[in-house]
Amino acid sequence: SRFETCWPALMKDCHGVIIIFNPELPSHLKEIEMWYSCFVQQQSLLDSQCLLVAHHKPGSGGDMEDLSLAYPLNRLKLIHSNLEEDPEDVRMEFIKYFKSIITLINESREREEMSIIS
């Protein structure tokens, strides 16, 4: 919250939000609700414009897939990252996410251009 004064600048013309958190910290699970509220809901972004990344530290153990988030976070795309085990999976998910954001940007740009023409 030290940087809250910077948030408006970060949010300006934002097309996507990636929230990375440590699923083993209960405080992080509370904080991602606040980040989602401020950066996604209050910016009127679509849930598809947000990606949640549960980052597991090397050797942290625990069941990576056993993470159930409450509404509305459970509507978001959630990926688990553990760079020791599956860096390629994470890279592919990021690429898919970025492609979806680029598609959204292009579609909204085309709509704007059509509205100007008509």
pLDDT digits (tens, 9 = 90+) for 19-53: 999 998 888 888 999 999 999 999 989 999 999 99
Task: For each of the domains in the chain, give its residue range(s) and CATH number, in order of start.
Answer: 4-117 (3.40.50)
- Rounded to two decimals, the pTM is 0.82
**Coil, strand or helix: which one is 93?**
helix
Beta strands in 40-93 (DSSP E): 50-55, 77-81
